[in-house]
Each structure stands twice: as C-alpha cells, then as structure tokens.
Amino acid sequence: MKTTDVLGCVGGAAFLLLASAWIPFIGPFFSLLTPLPFLCYATRLGLLQGIKLAAVAVFFIGILANFMGQPQTVIFVIEFSIIGMGLSELFRRELAFGRTMFLSTVFMLLLGLGLLFFIGLSKNMGPIEMILGYLAEHLNATVGAYKEMNPEGSDAQALETYVKAFMLVISKIYPSLMIIGTGFALWLNIVIAKPLFRLWGLKYPPFEPLDRWRSPEPLVWGVIISGFALFLSSGSIEFLAINALIVILAIYIFHGLSIVLFFLNKYKVPTWIRIGAYVLIMIQQLFFVVLILAGLFDQWADFRRIHRRADS
C-alpha cells in the first residue's frame, strides 16, 4: 500500500462524502458515489489491502469530520467503505448484473439497518423509528422557519397540513423507498465504475449490455399478486402489498429505460437528444407509466426482438 494510494482513496472518499455540504443542489448526488474509491482500490490492491486502506480512510476522514463539526459522517464512511469492498468481491466473482444488483442491495440494506440499530440503542429507538423521527424533525423545522418568516400568513397552516399528510404517506411506503433508493445508489456506482475501471486498467465484470437487460419473467406474478392483495386486503397485508408493488414497478421502470436505450443506440441518436429525452422522463411522471407498461409487456412483445432469437 503506497502513500499515493492512501492519498487517492482518502481524498476521493472525503470529497465525495462531504460534497453534500459543500456543493449545493448536486452535492448529495456526489455523496452517493463514495463507495467508488474503495471499490477501485480494493479491486486494484486486493481485499486485504483494501481493508487496511479503508481503515486508514475511516481514521483520517473521521478526524476531518470531527474538526468540521460533523462527527456523524464517520458512520457513513464506514458503511460506504464496506459497500465498496463488498462490490469488489461481487465483481471478482463475475456474477450476472441482476444478481450483483440483488445481492449488493440486500447487503447494503442489512448493513444500514444494522448500523442504525446500534446507533438507536443509545437513544432507545429502533431503526425505522429513527428514520421517521429524523424526517419529521427536519420537516417540522422547515414549517417552524416558514412560520417565523410569515407569522400572519395562511400558507403556514396549509404547509403544516401538507407535512402531516406527507408523513402519513411516508409511514406506509418507507420500506419500498429505502429499497429503491439503495438500489439506485448501487446501480449508479456499478455503472460509473465501468469507465473508471477502464481508465485504471482494471478488469470490469462481463455484464450484459444495459440496453439488452430485462427483468425476470416471474416478476409479473408479483404485480398480479400484490395488486390483488392491495385491493382485497387491509392491515399488514396491505402494507406489504403496496411496498412490494412499488418496488416491482420501479424495476419495470428500469426495464423500460433499457428498451429506450436500445433504440437510442440502434438509431445512433445524438447525445443532445438523448439528454433531452432523459430530462423529459425525469420531469414528466407520465413517462414513468409508459416505461412501466413497456417493461411489463416486453415479456410477451419482445420489442427489441433480441431475446427470442437468443432463446432459440
């Protein structure tokens, strides 16, 4: 382990992790990429050297975070360093893309809940209670600040009512939001790792092209079962059904995106049009429905005409 490796890993992880506080608007996006330095160095140096490097990084970033008045940051760097090294092991085993995503998502969820559990022991709170309490605290602080700015305005009361309704909805779908957010963060790291590995001369797993990916066919039964359970049941079964349905529909959104990417590549669409299409998808929720339907019916229609030929 060389000094340049230590400086590169510590500097890269520190910048990405603290970017949310330094860079407005897009800072949180960079912080999601914190596992990348640990992934790259663990792949380059091996798992044992990667663990040593991660320990050094946690030590120095912990000192820096404490100096900046953000001691809780060390929890995140511990979590992201473990995730980066876990991804390096999955990359080494050269599993399929879907299996890599599934295993890494389960691992990150268990790791995050475990860390929250140990943090909550000192506060006599469970992991979920901590998450909802943290969110409610920040929303209430926002309402309080708005009331101070507009003490006689009627909008403050409307905002408070909106916050209560929002928390009610979140309390019903927080498991699916956690799963989707975790999966998206890992997908982002896996995709961005490809050009970094190529730049460093590292071996990237031979995943299938993203424009040819499709969701597992049995997943359609999850839509059917959870949909019926959502309308024909109540209580805990309804809670499980709505969260399962949201997660499955999110998977079909990515299935639909892979179809869109396939045709953009097939017809060699210019970059500026691609960016416009992606922005339009993000700001117009109607396209989410189109992507879900495209991913769902692709199981039978095979819009790309590639899987039938591959199966035959």
pLDDT of residue 99: 92
Q: DSSP for 249-288?
A: HHHHHHHHHHHHHHHHHHTT--HHHHHHHHHHHHH-THHH
pLDDT tier at 91, thresholds 50, 70, 90: very high
In one-letter notation, the amino acid at residue 103 is L
CB 243 within 8 A of CB 175: yes
Higher per-residue pLDDT: 116 or 55: 55
pLDDT of residue 309: 58
Tell which residue, 234, 225, 291, 226, has the closest CA to residue 259: 291
298, pLDDT greater than 70:
yes
Residue 310 has pLDDT above 60, yes or no: no
CB 41 within 8 A of CB 24: no
- Read off the pLDDT of residues 33-69 as tens digits, 9 standing for 90 and up: 999 999 999 999 988 999 999 999 888 888 887 887 7
Domain residue spans in the chain?
Answer: 1-124+177-201, 208-312
Contact 101, 205 (CB under 8 A): no
- Asked if the model's pLDDT at residue 192 lies above 90, the reply is yes
Confidence (pLDDT) at 138: 67
Structure confidence at residue 197 as a pLDDT band (50, 70, 90): very high
**1-124+177-201 adopts what CATH topology?**
Arp2/3 complex 21 kDa subunit ARPC3 (1.10.1760)
pLDDT at 312 over 60: no
Contact status, residue 158 vs residue 150, Cβ threshold 8 Å: no
Banded pLDDT at 293 (limits 50, 70, 90):
very high
What is residue 151's predicted lDDT score, i.e. its pLDDT? 58
Confidence of residue 238 (pLDDT cuts 50, 70, 90): confident
Q: What percent of the chain has pLDDT over 90?
A: 37
For residue 167, give the nearest of 202, 136, 122, 204 by alpha carbon. Answer: 136
pLDDT of residue 172: 85
**Residue 284 reports pLDDT greater than 70:** yes
User: Which pLDDT belongs to residue 158?
Assistant: 72
Query: In the prediction, which pLDDT does 145 show?
Result: 67
According to the model, what pLDDT value does residue 136 have?
72
Determine the length of the chain: 312
pLDDT at 154: 57
pLDDT of residue 105 exceeding 90, the answer is: yes
Q: Which stretch of 33-37, 125-129, 221-225 has the lowest confidence by average pLDDT?
A: 125-129
Question: What's the chain's average pLDDT?
Answer: 85
